[in-house]
Structure formats: C-alpha cells, structure tokens
C-alpha cells in the first residue's frame, strides 16, 4: 500500500495473542507439543509462531489463563486426524456437555459436517481445533 491509500481493517491479517505465565514453558508447548513453527522474533519477552498464514503471539502476563473462552481456533481439513496426532503428543482434550446441538464422539464434538475439539495450554488458555465440510 502507498501512503494515502485507505487501508481497511478487513484487508489486514489478524493474529491470536495469548497470555502465558512462563514463556519458556509456553514456547515448548506451542513448538514441541502442538507443533507450531517458530515465527520471526518480535521483541524481547515475546514468542511468535506461524500457523498457515497466521501468527500466534505468546507473551508473559499476570492475567494468563483467566479467559474462560476460546483464545485461538485452528481450522483444519480433518479435525479427527489432528486430534489423534495431538493426543499422541500428550494433549488432553476438554469435554463440554452443554453445547446445544453438538454430540460428543470421543474427544470430538460433532454436528453435521462440523467437528470440533478443545484443549488447554499449560496456563489454561483454551485452544479450538475444527473442521467443517
């Protein structure tokens, strides 16, 4: 874009920003346990990871893990295969019985072509994996 061009928020990429208590522990989890590729270093005390065309920023905060809702969602082609891979890496999945219209099949919550699963990082941040179609 050239100076003076109108940039709209809808034209910008978006990233997930996730607060953690222990940056080194979080780096190990996001890199080694769930397999994200490290991204370019943004500054001291921050870790970036790449997922497709997205960036996940992990930073230390006293408020880590206080969000009781989904912090980041990964849309994948085959949620079942990803869940099986993550389970083999030691990830434990959350089970929600209060999601209207969803039936639980093992670690997956299913409705029609929607298949989703949720897990937590070491600080309790909720991460969602889903496939539709």
- Class of CATH domain 9-132: alpha beta
Supply the pLDDT for residue 3.
58
- Residues 37-61 pLDDT 10s: 999 887 889 999 999 989 999 999 9
Residue 61 near residue 20 (C-beta atoms within 8 A): yes
Please name the residues in contact with 43: beta carbons below 8 A apart, sequence gap of 6 or more.
none
- Per-residue pLDDT band for 5 (boundaries 50, 70, 90) equals low
The yes-or-no verdict on residue 1 having pLDDT over 70 is no
Please name the residues in contact with 100: beta carbons below 8 A apart, sequence gap of 6 or more.
none
The residues facing 37 across adjacent strands are 50
CA–CA separation, 57 vs 46, rounded Å? 7
- Residues 59-110 pLDDT 10s: 999 999 999 999 999 999 999 999 999 999 999 999 998 888 999 999 999 9
Average pLDDT value for residue range 12-19 = 91
Instruction: Name the pairing type of β-strands 126-132 and 70-75.
Output: parallel
Supply the pLDDT for residue 56.
96
How many CA atoms lie within 13 Å of 14's alpha carbon, on the beta-carbon side? 7
- Sign of the CA dihedral 102, 105, 110, 113? negative
pTM assigned to the model: 0.89
Exposed/middle/buried for residue 93 (C-beta within 10 Å: 0-12, 13-18, 19+): middle
């Amino acid at each position: 874009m050239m100076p003076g061009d109108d940039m709209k928020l809808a034209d910008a990429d978006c990233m997930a920003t996730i607060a953690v208590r222990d940056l080194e522990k979080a780096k190990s989890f996001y890199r080694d346990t769930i397999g994200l590729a490290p991204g370019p270093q943004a500054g001291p005390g921050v870790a970036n990871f790449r997922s497709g065309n997205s960036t996940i920023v992990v930073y230390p905060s006293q408020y880590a893990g206080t969000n009781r809702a989904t912090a980041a969602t990964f849309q994948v082609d085959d949620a079942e295969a990803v869940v099986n891979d993550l389970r083999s890496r030691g990830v434990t999945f959350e089970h929600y019985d209060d999601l209207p219209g969803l039936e639980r099949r093992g670690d997956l919550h299913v409705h029609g072509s929607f298949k989703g699963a949720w897990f937590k990082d070491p600080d309790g941040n909720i991460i969602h994996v889903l496939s539709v179609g």
